[in-house]
Chain A
Amino acid sequence: MLYGAYEYRKLTTSPAPFGEGAGGGAIEQRTANGEQRMTNNENIITVRNLVKKFGHFVANDHLNFEVRKGEIFGFLGANGAGKTTTIRILCGLSYPTSGEVNVAGLDIYRQRNLVKRNIGYMSQRFSLYDDLTVYENIRFYAGIYGLGRKEIVTKAEVLMNRLGLEAARDKLIRDLPQGWKQKLAFSVAIIHDPKIVFLDEPTGGVDPITRRQFWNLIFEAAREGITIFVTTHYMDEAEYCDRVTIMVDGKISALDTPSELKKTYAAANMNEVFLKLARTAINEE
């Protein structure tokens, strides 16, 4: 395997930011990362009374939340809780039924095109072109975000260097292993230095090692000042977020730091927090 050697080196030399099973070490590491980052109290996303209906079905029921500049904001919820609907609205892929939404200081109704320049997006569904090479994919995505030719060349070099993909520069994407595609997709999603990047279940269907490497990339991006808005199924990943929102049936039922959430719900880990919240939803029905 061409990339095996590099993968091995990366795993052994770079300190893993969190241990297996997400014990106390992970939280320490996350806090350390947090200190390095420029997290402050300035809001980069503001959502007020956001409602989205599909016919009679209410996918988002009066959502209110803020995302602070530079933080890793986790968006959790079961399937069908309305996560993807919210993320699509924030990205300008869909209009809200009512409510105020402000992304990167811009109104999503009136300044949609400006919003688009300031955000990056990566969905669970894998999104690079199979029949283009690594370099062509990078060049294409950089190009549609309006980067200049010289800028594209330097950025592409840096990116491939960081991922150890120089040797695979002219390989077709379809010939790369899945984990590499995913990492490349993330790097491409932030190639234009967006203020915010939206990740919709970015680690779906990925093995644990690749997931860890993927989160390394996320931390790196956060250190560079990019706000991360991430939805996930994996509760251990929720621990790596600065703050976490848990959505149940289209409503926000909790929003706090992982440690506060665990304290409030007297839970040992995020998984328990989530189960307790989800159970109340079932009981209410």
Chain B
Amino acid sequence: MKRFTGFVIKEFYHIFRDYRTLLILFGMPAVQLLLFGYVVTNEIKDARIAIYDASKDEVTRKISEKVLSSGYFILEKNLKNYAEIGPTFREGKTKLVLVFGSNFAEKLQREGKADIQILGDASDPNTANILVNYASGIISNYLISVNIEKVPMRIIPEVRMQYNPGLKGVFMFVPGIMAMLLMLISALMTSLSITREKELGTMELLLVSPLRPIQIIIGKVIPYVLLAFIDSCIILGMGNFVFGVPIQGNLILLLFECLLYITMALSLGILISSITSSQQIAMTISLMALMLPTILLSGFIFPVENMPVILQVLCHAMPPKYFITIIKDIMLKGNGVSFIWKETLVMMSFTVIFILISIKKFKVRLA
């Protein structure tokens, strides 16, 4: 045990002597969360809009007012004729143009319908889509409110977004960033620290010593369990206090799942380092084979359900997917063990599989 403690202390020396890595380890969660939380959002605020109002009557003015007071749009300019639309878009500032046909109110009164055109700048398709939806939503809301007395029967859907009423992006980024960062720290850092010993030749010395291989590996892993755990607390804390992401479920269960995920990632790191003996390769594998799938194939940003079948199958082989599901369940829905035991079991099996393969590889190398 004394030997083992000495070994773990040495590992901490390595980590604390390397200021830059340490800074990355603890700075990255904060920076990433702030970036994703504030910069990468799908919410639209203050989009520039131009209006060409050919009739300028009471109704069109009302509608324009509604649109502009919604908080989503700011008036860039009023257009004088239809031909100005092209140049306005080309300037680039204006993302949406609203065109009212002539005699709008009159037509509406008489025929029950009037022309309104919504033009979006689809050089950025996502934004255009969202803006057009917002605008048409506001307009139809207005029409419904105006027609209330006239229409005898009506269906007014009441929409409520469960678990994330404000449709905040941060709610999905917090679990995603946790999955990504914990994977990075755990898998990348352990595989690097083990391959480093191999490159230096110190691994041989450790293997010749009375330390058992299992002690060496556990000794390598313990500091990173601790660091990764602190990181997950930082992310959860920031998510909660800065961005208001709730923790509806049991905090202890949540932390336990984090630990399980960390262990899984660590065993993956050990596996990587048992396959390769150079830091360079370990780094490439960790970054390419772990980071990209974690971001793209885990349901972090892009919904798994919309992918082609082959990719969907691949997604189910990605451990982060299960972790993200679990985290969302606990944090946002307040679900307990009865809802997430399957995912938990999957993560446990991943861990066991990774460890078994590593042990096998390790023995082969020794023989």
| A131–B17 CA distance with the chains assembled, in angstroms | 7
Smallest CB gap from A119: residue in B:
B208
B206 interface hit (Cβ, 8 Å) = yes
| A139–B6 CA distance with the chains assembled, in angstroms | 8
Q: Which of A131, A139, A144 contacts B18 (CB 8 A)?
A: A131
Q: Which of A71-79, A120-128, A234-242, A269-277 contacts the other chain?
A: A120-128
| A141–B209 CA distance with the chains assembled, in angstroms | 9
Q: Which of A87-95, A156-164, A223-231, A253-261 contacts the other chain?
A: A87-95
| A116–B216 CA distance with the chains assembled, in angstroms | 15
- In the complex, are the beta carbons of A121 and B367 less than 8 A apart? no
- In the complex, are the beta carbons of B200 and A127 less than 8 A apart? yes
| A191–B7 CA distance with the chains assembled, in angstroms | 17
A28 interface hit (Cβ, 8 Å) = no
- In the complex, are the beta carbons of A144 and B204 less than 8 A apart? no
- In the complex, are the beta carbons of B13 and A136 less than 8 A apart? yes
| A127–B211 CA distance with the chains assembled, in angstroms | 16
- In the complex, are the beta carbons of A144 and B201 less than 8 A apart? no
| A116–B18 CA distance with the chains assembled, in angstroms | 31
> Which one of B10, B202, B208, B211 has the highest number of Cβ atoms from chain A below 10 Å of its Cβ?
B208
- In the complex, are the beta carbons of B202 and A144 less than 8 A apart? no
- In the complex, are the beta carbons of B207 and A93 less than 8 A apart? yes
| A165–B7 CA distance with the chains assembled, in angstroms | 24
> Which one of B205, B366, B367 has the highest number of Cβ atoms from chain A below 10 Å of its Cβ?
B205
On chain B, the residues within 8 Å of A140 by CB distance are 6-7, 10
- In the complex, are the beta carbons of A127 and B3 less than 8 A apart? no
| A4–B209 CA distance with the chains assembled, in angstroms | 33
A129 interface hit (Cβ, 8 Å) = yes
Q: How far is the CB of A138 from chain B (nearest CB, A)?
A: 12
B316 interface hit (Cβ, 8 Å) = no
| A143–B7 CA distance with the chains assembled, in angstroms | 8
A107 interface hit (Cβ, 8 Å) = no
Q: How far is the CB of B279 from chain A (nearest CB, A)?
A: 14
B210 interface hit (Cβ, 8 Å) = yes
Smallest CB gap from B206: residue in A:
A144
Smallest CB gap from B14: residue in A:
A131
- In the complex, are the beta carbons of B201 and A117 less than 8 A apart? no
On chain A, the residues within 8 Å of B210 by CB distance are 113, 116-117, 144-146
| A31–B13 CA distance with the chains assembled, in angstroms | 45
Q: Which of B3, B212, B366 contacts A146 (CB 8 A)?
A: B3
B2 interface hit (Cβ, 8 Å) = yes
Counting chain B residues whose Cβ lies within 8 A of the other chain, the interface size class is: 20 to 34
- In the complex, are the beta carbons of A95 and B366 less than 8 A apart? yes
Q: Which of A95, A129, A143 contacts B2 (CB 8 A)?
A: A143
Smallest CB gap from B367: residue in A:
A95
Smallest CB gap from B212: residue in A:
A113
On chain B, the residues within 8 Å of A20 by CB distance are none
> Which one of A91, A113, A143 has the highest number of Cβ atoms from chain B below 10 Å of its Cβ?
A143
A132 interface hit (Cβ, 8 Å) = yes
- In the complex, are the beta carbons of A132 and B13 less than 8 A apart? yes
- In the complex, are the beta carbons of B209 and A116 less than 8 A apart? yes
Knowing A116-B209, A145-B209, the reply to whether A132 touches B10 (Cβ < 8 A) is: yes
> Which one of A91, A94, A146 has the highest number of Cβ atoms from chain B below 10 Å of its Cβ?
A146
On chain A, the residues within 8 Å of B201 by CB distance are 123, 125-127
- In the complex, are the beta carbons of B208 and A92 less than 8 A apart? yes
On chain B, the residues within 8 Å of A130 by CB distance are 200
Per the 8 Å Cβ criterion, residues 193-234 of B in contact with A are 200-202, 204-212
- In the complex, are the beta carbons of B202 and A143 less than 8 A apart? no
| A189–B204 CA distance with the chains assembled, in angstroms | 12
Q: How far is the CB of B123 from chain A (nearest CB, A)?
A: 51
- In the complex, are the beta carbons of A116 and B3 less than 8 A apart? no
Smallest CB gap from A117: residue in B:
B210
- In the complex, are the beta carbons of A93 and B205 less than 8 A apart? no
On chain A, the residues within 8 Å of B18 by CB distance are 131
| A70–B352 CA distance with the chains assembled, in angstroms | 47
On chain B, the residues within 8 Å of A116 by CB distance are 208-210
Q: Which of B13, B17, B209, B367 contacts A144 (CB 8 A)?
A: B209
On chain A, the residues within 8 Å of B207 by CB distance are 93
Bitwise interface map of A from 77 to 119 toward B, beta carbon under 8 Å scored 1, else 0: 0000000000000011111000000000000000001001101
Q: Which of A92, A117, A121, A136 contacts B205 (CB 8 A)?
A: A121
Smallest CB gap from A54: residue in B:
B367
Q: How far is the CB of A45 from chain B (nearest CB, A)?
A: 15
- In the complex, are the beta carbons of B17 and A93 less than 8 A apart? no
Knowing A129-B202, A146-B2, A146-B3, the reply to whether A93 touches B209 (Cβ < 8 A) is: no
| A135–B201 CA distance with the chains assembled, in angstroms | 20
- In the complex, are the beta carbons of A93 and B208 less than 8 A apart? yes
Per the 8 Å Cβ criterion, residues 193-218 of A in contact with B are none
Bitwise interface map of B from 328 to 361 toward A, beta carbon under 8 Å scored 1, else 0: 0000000000000000000000000000000000
- In the complex, are the beta carbons of B200 and A129 less than 8 A apart? yes
On chain A, the residues within 8 Å of B367 by CB distance are 94-95
Sample of 19 further A-B pairs with CB below 8 A, known A121-B204, A122-B205, A130-B200 = A94-B366, A113-B212, A116-B209, A116-B210, A119-B208, A127-B200, A127-B201, A129-B202, A132-B13, A136-B10, A140-B10, A141-B205, A144-B6, A144-B7, A144-B206, A144-B210, A144-B211, A145-B210, A189-B205
Can you show 8 pairs from A to B with CB atoms below 8 A apart?
A: A92-B208, A93-B208, A113-B212, A123-B204, A131-B18, A136-B13, A143-B6, A145-B209
